[in-house]
Structure 1
Amino acid sequence: MKLLVDQNLSRKLVDQLQHEFPDSIHVTAVGLGTATDRELWQFAREHGFAIVSKDSDFRQLAFLYGPPPKVIWLRVGNASTAGALQVILDHLDDVLAFDESADAALLVVPRLPN
């Protein structure tokens, strides 16, 4: 699974996730830093990426169009990059199972309680 990390998440997250998700990229790396959600959706669909975002608009697109692409919606509020990374790693089994499900369009990943 390769991830397209939305602009509302740090570029640093991509480097920190390379072991688990090789070939992942940040939207700015492909000139999509100011793209609309629909443009990101189309790019992810055409290039085989799953979108990772804190933006609830992708949830709506996932329900409207279904996969591909898949959407991982991080419900982490104003978490730091380290916090967002930890949430993804804490839910790694869920993310990998989501990737295996052909019909699943949206995975909501909440921050785990302390």
Structure 2
Amino acid sequence: MATVELTTANFDEVTEQPGIVLVDFWADWCGPCKRFAPIYERSSEKHEDVVFGKVDTEAQQDLAVRYGIQSIPTIMAVRDGVVVFAQPGMLPESALESLIEQVQALDMEDVRKQLADHEHSH
């Protein structure tokens, strides 16, 4: 599956669906982003059940601000509408594959319970 361009118009619609959405926050002037792009594309070909989204932080500054993106590339993983991972820095292919496996293995009931507990304790 090819990557999907995410904008403020479609971001929530795409990320709130059941399943896994990876988001690559990038910009045209960013060298590491350009080096990461083919890795991300290759991974998207391998995992047809995962949505691979890209956010151009120059064009979509509202999204970058909303998620506190301070350095790019930042990779974010969303599963069933919940952000389960976000980390700046370029990932080598093996680390990206490992991240996808970890997100697939998550027990989402447990994740939601932890989020609820966290919200109650503040």
Q: Structure 2 length as normaliser, TM-score?
A: 0.40
Which is higher, the Rg of structure 1 or of structure 2?
2
Q: Which has the higher contact order (CA 8 A, sep 6+)?
A: 2
Greater fraction of residues in strand = 2
